[in-house]
């Protein structure tokens, strides 16, 4: 049963990546910075077992300066496991780093739905096909607006090496 759920989630993740990629490519060739990625990081759950957190995201700065994008997070290290979907509305690209801010669209935890409005995370594209790329944990907030990603610094969010996948940041 668990393998079936994981397989269905992986299929959904691939479909969202493909749809987001097509949507972002169709917006305009003259668009500004962009970042996209997918992958797995290893974390410890509340019982000390190693679990795989999966993520997918894609965002682009449009010619009018607005940001369009989305992200998905599957984190089984929580009890119960946590899934989230969010709309990315802020993207800051500095060199190989991309910082994101967005609004939470849907979560599997009603506490997050009721108490948090914004989600933030950062990635680093360190080349080599993703083997050295990193992603931070997703930080949720109920005070700071998603547009505050403009103020995220390179050392603000601790990074986790990506076990498999790839991050691509384009200035």
Number of domains into which the chain is organized: 1
The set of residues, in sequence order, having a beta carbon less than 8 Å from that of 89 and lying 6+ positions away, is 66, 67, 69, 101, 102, 103, 146, 147
Rounded Cα gap, residues 125 and 167, in angstroms: 5
Vertex 141, ends 74 and 44: CA angle to 5°? Answer: 40
The two three-digit tokens of residue 153, written as one number: 């610094």
Predicted local confidence at residue 35, as pLDDT: 98
User: What's the domain range around 145?
Assistant: 2-170
Per-residue pLDDT of the chain (171 residues; tens, 9 = 90+): 554 444 444 444 444 444 444 444 444 455 799 999 999 999 887 788 899 999 999 999 999 999 999 999 998 877 678 899 999 999 999 999 999 999 988 888 877 666 778 899 999 999 877 779 999 999 988 888 989 998 999 999 999 999 999 999 999
């Amino acid at each position: 049963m668990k393998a079936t759920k994981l397989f269905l989630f992986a299929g959904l993740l691939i479909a969202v990546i493909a749809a987001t990629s097509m949507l972002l490519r169709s917006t305009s060739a003259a668009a500004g910075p962009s970042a996209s990625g997918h992958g797995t990081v290893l974390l410890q759950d509340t019982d000390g077992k190693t679990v795989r957190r999966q993520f997918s995201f894609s965002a682009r700065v449009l010619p009018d300066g607005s940001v369009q994008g989305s992200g998905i997070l599957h984190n089984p290290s929580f009890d119960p496991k946590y899934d989230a979907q969010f709309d990315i509305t802020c993207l800051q690209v500095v060199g190989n780093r991309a910082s994101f801010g967005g609004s939470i669209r849907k979560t599997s935890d009603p506490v997050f739905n009721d108490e948090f409005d914004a989600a933030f995370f950062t990635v680093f594209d360190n080349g080599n096909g993703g083997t050295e790329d990193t992603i931070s944990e997703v930080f949720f907030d109920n005070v700071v607006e998603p547009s505050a990603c403009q103020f995220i610094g390179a050392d603000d969010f601790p990074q986790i090496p990506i076990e498999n996948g790839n991050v691509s940041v384009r200035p």
